[in-house]
Amino acid sequence: AQSVTQPDIHITVSEGASLELRCNYSYGATPYLFWYVQSPGQGLQLLLKYFSGDTLVQGIKGFEAEFKRSQSSFNLRKPSVHWSDAAEYFCAVGEAGNTPLVFGKGTRLSVIA
């Protein structure tokens, strides 16, 4: 069965600093990988997704993620964090055939001045 691990429950970064959120997955074949963001009191918004091809994918709001098959990872990065990036971030994995996504437990990001 697929699974997703987000090792960091909570991360605090300074505004302007770089950010990396970790995601590891367990899946036999090539997975479909996603990052979603949830602002307080809101639903989830898709940041970016990887299906195949270039392993570095660009998303909205200046985020990018890199698929590393050898490490079973799909880490999310941003070069300079803004206060508005404070939110909860979820990594998710899916597979071909339209099965539902499996989500990680999330990483809460706090941004300090």
Partner 1 sequence: DVKVTQSSRYLVKRTGEKVFLECVQDMDHENMFWYRQDPGLGLRLIYFSYDVKMKEKGDIPEGYSVSREKKERFSLILESASTNQTSMYLCASSYTGSYGYTFGSGTRLTVV
Please say whether the beta carbons of 32 and 51 come within 8 A.
yes
Select the span of 22-30, 57-65, 74-82, 102-110 touching partner 1 (CB under 8 A). Answer: 102-110
- CB of 80 or CB of 110, closer to partner 1: 110
Instruction: Give me the amino acid identity at 31.
Output: P
Name the nearest CA neighbour of 73 among 11, 5, 12: 5
How far is Cα 52 from Cα 37, in angstroms, rounded to an integer?
22
Residue 40 engages partner 1 in binding (rule: CB under 8 A): no
CB of 103 to partner 1, least distance (A): 4
- Applying CB under 8 A, among 9, 28, 52, 54 the residue interacting with partner 1 is 9
How far is Cα 2 from Cα 73, in angstroms, rounded to an integer?
13
CB of 47 to partner 1, least distance (A): 12
Select the span of 22-30, 53-61, 62-70, 103-111 touching partner 1 (CB under 8 A). Answer: 103-111
Return the structure tokens found at 5: 């691990």
